[in-house]
Copies of this chain bind each other. A is one copy, B any other.
Amino acid sequence: MVIEPYVHKVQYYETDQMGIVHHSNYIRWFEEARVDILEKLDMAYDQMEIQGIMIPVLGVHCEYKSMVHFGESVLILPRVKSYDGIRLRLSYTIIDALNHQLKTLGHSDHCFMDLEQRLVSLRRKRPDLHERFQQLAQVRYRGIDNE
């Protein structure tokens, strides 16, 4: 499946007094792109919550490779790093929207919970969603990956 990369335009309120994007915002950008890709695969967060499935964040990791400035746009590219029906690790590559220079690498770890905050095995309880997460692992980005 080939999808469009998620674009984020840097906002003034995301900068700090070093004149660059404050490092905490990248964690929010990961979320933006995660929400976007799940939506593109028909697993929108708000629809999932209505169906009683939440996808909490267990951990995040972020390495800042080069600085991002106000006025720039970046592509945020989430990919499935590992998925076994119970746990999900997404990796993120952030690159400059124009010249594709590497900006940031990171990943986030997730599980699946029902509304009573119990762990859910998608493999057993929701084979429909399980299949979609397997499709997610096959995603390629237009203009970035070999299609």
Contact = CB atoms under 8 A, between A and B. Distances in A.
One complex includes copies of this chain to the number of: 4
A31 B45 contact: no
Contacts of A11: 28, 31-32, 35
A63 interface: yes
Contacts of A24: 13, 24-25, 27-28, 31
25 contacts: A11-B31, A11-B32, A11-B35, A12-B35, A13-B24, A13-B28, A13-B31, A17-B17, A17-B20, A18-B54, A23-B27, A24-B24, A24-B27, A24-B28, A27-B27, A44-B71, A45-B70, A45-B71, A46-B69, A46-B70, A58-B63, A58-B64, A59-B63, A59-B64, A61-B62
7 closest cross-chain pairs (CB), A and B: A46-B71, A15-B17, A24-B27, A59-B63, A23-B57, A17-B19, A61-B61
